[in-house]
């Protein structure tokens, strides 16, 4: 959003653009990752379903958590790159996605990187899993180095409304919600 503001956009328009870019990046990444395993129509359906998952929409429209939207936008790219990490471009994409994940929301990024690593360990064997894990580790190291200036700053207080925006399981089944 800061780049869009420097380009002359208003603050509100820049934030909306950042939300839209995160959502588009996530749906495009989910299509790219799902396309490796599914037919084009099925991969498109996977991308649409991923984009309109209730917790992603709640993150955008209810909580307005821009960092989390970018996590949802980058995780499919980390999955795509880790599943093809033997190719140089995919290795670089995995490193970039892992680093950007940490810069967008570090707590969710660590969870996502652990899950992606465990998935790679359970699916791949031999050299492909080592290449994927090396890309994820390199991205995590770059991401942590980029976070060092912020780790030295004093933390702000806790968000008092944080627990009011949890998504309960029954809400997924209510048509009115």
Spatial contact of 52 and 99, defined as CB atoms under 8 Å apart:
no
Q: pLDDT-based confidence at 160, cuts 50/70/90?
A: low
Q: Give the pLDDT mean for 144-153.
A: 77
- Can you give the pLDDT at residue 72? 93
User: Sorting pLDDT into bands at 50, 70 and 90, what band is 49?
Assistant: very high
Position 136 confidence tier, pLDDT thresholds 50, 70, 90? confident
> Phi-psi region for residue 8, left (φ > 0), alpha (ψ -120 to 50) or beta?
left
pLDDT of residue 23: 93
Residue 162: pLDDT band with limits 50, 70, 90? low
Quickly state the pLDDT bin for 41 (edges 50, 70, 90).
very high
Taking residues 36-59, what's their average pLDDT? 92
Q: What is the pLDDT of residue 44?
A: 95
Q: In the predicted model, what is the mean pLDDT of the chain? A: 84
Q: How far apart are CA 113 and CA 102, in angstroms?
A: 9
What b/e sequence results for 20-59 when a residue is b if at least 16 CB atoms lie within 10 Å of its CB, and e otherwise?
A: eebbebbbbbbbbbbbeeeeeeebbebbeebbeeeebebb
Burial classification of residue 113, based on how many CB atoms lie within 10 Å of its CB (0-12 exposed, 13-18 middle, 19 or more buried): buried
Residue with tokens 């700053």: 153
Q: What is the pLDDT of residue 38?
A: 92
Q: Is the pLDDT of residue 154 over 80?
A: no
């Amino acid at each position: 959003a800061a780049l869009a503001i420097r380009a002359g956009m208003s603050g509100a328009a820049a934030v909306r653009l950042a939300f839209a870019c995160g959502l588009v990046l996530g749906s495009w990444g989910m299509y790219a990752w799902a396309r490796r395993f599914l037919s084009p129509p099925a991969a498109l359906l996977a991308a649409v379903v991923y984009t309109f998952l209730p917790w992603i929409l709640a993150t955008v429209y209810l909580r307005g958590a821009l960092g989390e939207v970018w996590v949802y936008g980058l995780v499919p790219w980390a999955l795509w790159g880790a599943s093809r990490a033997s190719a140089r471009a995919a290795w670089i994409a995995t490193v970039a996605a892992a680093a950007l994940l940490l810069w967008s929301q570090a707590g969710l990024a660590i969870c996502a990187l652990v899950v992606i690593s465990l998935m790679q360990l359970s699916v791949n064997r031999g050299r492909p899993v080592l290449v994927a894990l090396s890309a994820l580790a390199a991205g995590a190291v770059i991401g942590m180095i980029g976070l060092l200036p912020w780790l030295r700053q004093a933390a702000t207080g806790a968000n008092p409304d944080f627990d009011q925006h949890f998504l309960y399981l029954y809400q997924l089944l209510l048509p009115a919600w």
